[in-house]
Amino acid sequence: MSLVAPNLDDRRFQDIVDEAKRRIARHCPEWTDHNVSDPGVALIELFAWMTEMILYRLNQVPDRLYIKFLELVGIELASASPARTDILFTLAAPPDSSIRVPAGTQVGTERGHGEDQIVFMTDTDLMLVKPNLTALLTRTDGRFENHTEELGLENTQIPVFPSLHVDDAMYLGFEEGLEGNLIRVDIEVSGAAGRGIDPRNPPRVWQSWNGRDWTNARVLSDTSDGFNTTGEVTMLLKGRHEQLAIGPVRAHWVRAKLVEPDVPGQTYDTPPLLDSVAVTGLGGAVAAHHAEPAPRELLGASTGEPGQVHVVRRAPVLPRRGGERVEIVPVRREPGVDEEPVSWREVADFTDATEADKVYTWNGATGEIRFGPRVINREGRVRQYGAVPDEEAQIWVTGYRYGGGRRGNVGANKLTVPLSAIQSVDSVKNLEPATGGVDAESVDNAKVRGPLYLRGGHRAVTAKDFERLTLAAAPGAARARCLPPAKNGDPVRLLVVPRVDIAPESLKLQNLALPPDLTTQIQGYLDDRRLLTTQIRIDTPSYQGITVVAEVHAAPTVRPEKVREDAEKALYEFVNPVTGGPSGNGWPFDTDLSIGDIFSVLRGVAGVIRAETVHMFLADLRGQQQPEEVGQRVRLSREELFMSVSHRVVVRQ
């Protein structure tokens, strides 16, 4: 049973007014008019209202002491997390030489009426390279054939997939790596070769070598209809692009590989014949996050006292990167000679700091920078945790990034305003919605998290520990489910649902894929807290698509279109892995879905008199199979969650 905080004074406005009126007869017997129209009574009510405000503030004291206790034991508010996406830079003309888009390049949204602009910064440098095609190979049945000398020759036809066996491929070799580059492959073919496929979904993939494996490129357009006609293939190369030696030829490779068709039989009748190929650079994409840079900032002069606190001007502050630190400029020892600044090191806490360690802590949520305290132990000895800047020394921060939060979860094609001048760049945009933005932690949430943190400790031992620490490690994780190993030696499976800020009716399966940086963040956090003998495998749950077809009767005074929209929206919100379920915190693991649940949701929609019929279908989230109707209940395995697919509600009046 939780302890109940005392109410220091439970009197309210009317209680105070009534008490004052009862005392009138004792202190002022000649005052006989106690109606609200009397000026004296009006003054009583005024002072009663002011007294009630004082009592309200008095009753906040227990909460304030509780929060101060959490601060005392090291519970601090979690800072905001920035949304992330890739920014595509498109060039005005193909580059004659390499163009560098530096890290920190800023891109923003259109500034709407009364709205602040949302700014993103690129994470790393992006090199836009002029593609120099140096080699062309084909592979069939594991053997390579070099066609490099045939490039540019007239009346030459190169079979792209010579034997039409799966894994046949054409390899394009480049002098320089094209990491993150947007390229256009101009293809010229002749004859009727290459027929037999679905041009909208040809059985081939484009890939690049990242040093360890082949990474799929993102094809933005293909006017060649899968090598059927002369046309252009525009693709974006993802990840690193490293050299690889294939036989005597060493180059940075991009390949088109033949794969199994999605529909059996829709494959090439004859190998496509390539007359010529040329490659042009169009731009490139690089990862970016929601943030704005703050320049070098003077925090003030040191007092020379331990435990001093300085606050930066902007908050919340994002996790620091290289070059974002505190510098101390000592007091001049000689007139006219400036002292060199000394860099100090940020730490999580002062537990292991000695008096000589030049360290500090930096709270991202509040922007507070603290220096080490001085503590007297039970023997009366004084210990200084971390060094203290000399008196009158100037305290600087070299710069930092601030921002983050849910407002950064913008939709696709919203980041279109370049805020940094880049040579030859014609336009910018984000191809995918930005995800992962989470607001700074609220005080109410910290009050709930604090006791759980203190009781649970900091070790990942039980399944509940893994789930709790996963959510603590990454604000971008909305939910976590830990599955113990099936047998000794197997890894612990950790199923993570990413936090997405997408309308339930627009949620797709690809939106729930785990971003690599989120997986890395969780893995690193848990590695420091797990047992040495415990191995962890981070994965996503399996998602079972559900389609509901229902008929409802609406009141005659409401519009059927409005009822239909509200009913379908309610179904999308209820059958949802992130925000669905009875509690609205995502569909629970190990919880089945019944027709009765659907009836309850529909009856709760405004304007619905009754739900007449309900049918539930198992839906293929990839759209490759027809929906299959089920009975009264759909059961889940322990690693599955429900997800909505194309609900349809018919409204009768």
Residues 388 and 435 in one domain: no
Containing structural domain, residue 580: 542-652
pLDDT of residue 572 exceeding 80: yes
Q: Give the mean pLDDT of 301-328.
A: 93
Q: Give the mean pLDDT of 261-271.
A: 82
What pLDDT is recorded for position 139? Answer: 92
**Alpha-helical segments (H) within 511-617:** 516-527, 560-574, 595-603
How would you class 240 by CB atoms within 10 Å of its CB: exposed for 0-12, middle for 13-18, buried for 19 or more? middle
CA dist 562 and 607 (Å) reads 9
Q: What is the pLDDT of residues 25-38, one digit of tens each?
A: 788 888 877 777 88
User: CB–CB of 76/365 below 8 Å?
Assistant: yes
CA dist 612 and 268 (Å) reads 50
Residues 38 and 15 in one domain: yes
What pLDDT is recorded for position 533? Answer: 82
- DSSP string spanning 53-91? HHHHHHTTHHHHHHHHHHHHTT--PPPPB--EEEEEEEE
3-state secondary structure string across 265-308? CCCCCCCCEEEEEEEEEEEEEEEEEECEEECCEEEEECCCCCCC
pLDDT of residue 433 exceeding 90: yes
C-alpha pair distances (Å), 185 with each of 135, 479, 510: 14, 42, 27
Q: What is the pLDDT of residues 369-427, one digit of tens each?
A: 999 999 987 778 899 999 999 999 999 999 999 999 999 999 999 999 999 988 889 99
Residues 142 and 55 in one domain: no
The set of residues, in sequence order, having a beta carbon less than 8 Å from that of 83 and lying 6+ positions away, is 289, 290, 404, 406, 408, 409, 410, 434, 435, 436, 437
pLDDT of residue 194 exceeding 80: no
Residues 209 and 277 in one domain: yes
What mean pLDDT, rounded, does the chain reach? 87
Q: Give 109 or 623, the one with higher predicted confidence.
A: 109
What pLDDT is recorded for position 538? Answer: 92
User: CB–CB of 144/118 below 8 Å?
Assistant: no
Q: How many domains does the chain have?
A: 6
Residues 170 and 86 in one domain: yes
What pLDDT is recorded for position 419? Answer: 93
* 1 — pLDDT class (breaks 50, 70, 90): very low
What pLDDT is recorded for position 455? Answer: 65
Residues 491 and 519 in one domain: yes
Residues 583 and 604 in one domain: yes
The distance in angstroms from the start CA to the end CA of the chain is 51
How would you class 318 by CB atoms within 10 Å of its CB: exposed for 0-12, middle for 13-18, buried for 19 or more? buried
Percentage of the chain beyond pLDDT 90 is 45
pLDDT of residue 65 exceeding 90: no
Residues 122 and 264 in one domain: yes
* 60 — pLDDT class (breaks 50, 70, 90): low
Q: Give the mean pLDDT of 317-343.
A: 86
The 3-state DSSP class for residue 394 equals strand
Domain end among 498, 521, 539: 539
Q: Give the mean pLDDT of 455-468.
A: 78
Residues 514 and 535 in one domain: yes
Tell me how long the chain is: 653
* 193 — pLDDT class (breaks 50, 70, 90): low
**H or E stretch at 190:** none
CA angle 346, 367, 67 (to 5 degrees): 105
Residues 487 and 596 in one domain: no
Can you give the C-alpha Rg of the chain in angstroms? 33
pLDDT of residue 12 exceeding 50: yes
Residues 85 and 191 in one domain: yes
Q: Give 73 or 116, the one with higher predicted confidence.
A: 116
* 2 — pLDDT class (breaks 50, 70, 90): very low
Residues 568 and 553 in one domain: yes
Domain end among 389, 422, 456: 456
Domain end among 477, 508, 539: 539
CATH number at residue 471: 3.30.300.30
CA dist 47 and 378 (Å) reads 50
CA dist 325 and 360 (Å) reads 10
